A = this chain, B = another copy of it.
């Protein structure tokens, strides 16, 4: 598994590499809500970040990992012990970033839904901002919870779709997986 520093480096490289992509007028800023606590999550995060940076309808991608309070990223394997100050500052940074983005994308992994991402989708939803879920994994074998299944404005099923999704005029889609 990548170390956190390697992961951060990869994300920065992706951003730089995409600087030549031509963006449409009025292209959207987006919040990318996703975990980085398993190999699968890291792979999905990297692929999503790359897809969004190359999407001509996206002008800027905010990824929490690149914007941690005082540079202290949360590392499950380290012995970082966050205190109240860090927790409040980091929570506020995430909320501010959602408020500062046109659209919120949340990665919902079937069978292993991240409660933080679900909270963020609910938050963006009530804020009156478009939300797009990326349902990762097998949603028939592992049904998705009703709220993140029906709440988002639309959804994609793969990082390939993310690269070409039209964020200027978000098409609604009928949810087609299983529900729990």
Q: Which A residues lie at the B interface, using CB under 8 A?
A: 23-29, 59-60, 62, 66-67, 69, 74, 76, 82, 84-85, 87-97, 99-100, 102-103, 108, 113-130, 145-151, 153-154, 167-175, 179-180
Copies of this protein in the assembly total: 6
Q: How far is the CA of A19 from the CA of B49 in the complex (A)?
A: 28
Residue of B nearest to A132 (CB): B96
Q: Is the CB of B26 within 8 A of A59?
A: yes
Of the candidates A88, A125, A172, the one having the most CB atoms from chain B within 10 angstroms of its own CB is A172
Residues of chain B contacted by A88 (CB below 8 angstroms): 88, 150
Residues of chain B contacted by A59 (CB below 8 angstroms): 25-26
Q: Is the CB of A87 within 8 A of B124?
A: no
Q: Is the CB of B96 within 8 A of A170?
A: yes
- A100: contacting residue among B27, B102, B121, B147, CB under 8 A: B102
Residue of B nearest to A96 (CB): B153
Q: How far is the CA of A93 from the CA of B153 in the complex (A)?
A: 8
Q: How far is the CA of A150 from the CA of B89 in the complex (A)?
A: 10
Q: Is the CB of B119 within 8 A of A67?
A: no
- A145: contacting residue among B28, B119, B123, B179, CB under 8 A: B119
20 A-B residue pairings within 8 Å (CB atoms): A24-B60, A28-B100, A29-B168, A74-B180, A84-B85, A85-B85, A87-B175, A88-B150, A89-B172, A92-B172, A93-B170, A96-B172, A97-B169, A99-B130, A100-B102, A100-B169, A115-B117, A116-B146, A119-B125, A120-B147
Min CB distance A165 to B, Å, is 13
Residue of B nearest to A150 (CB): B91
Known contacts A62-B168, A91-B151, A116-B147, then 12 further A-B pairs from the complex at CB < 8 Å, ordered by chain A residue: A25-B60, A69-B171, A69-B172, A84-B85, A90-B172, A97-B169, A115-B118, A115-B147, A116-B146, A119-B119, A122-B122, A126-B126
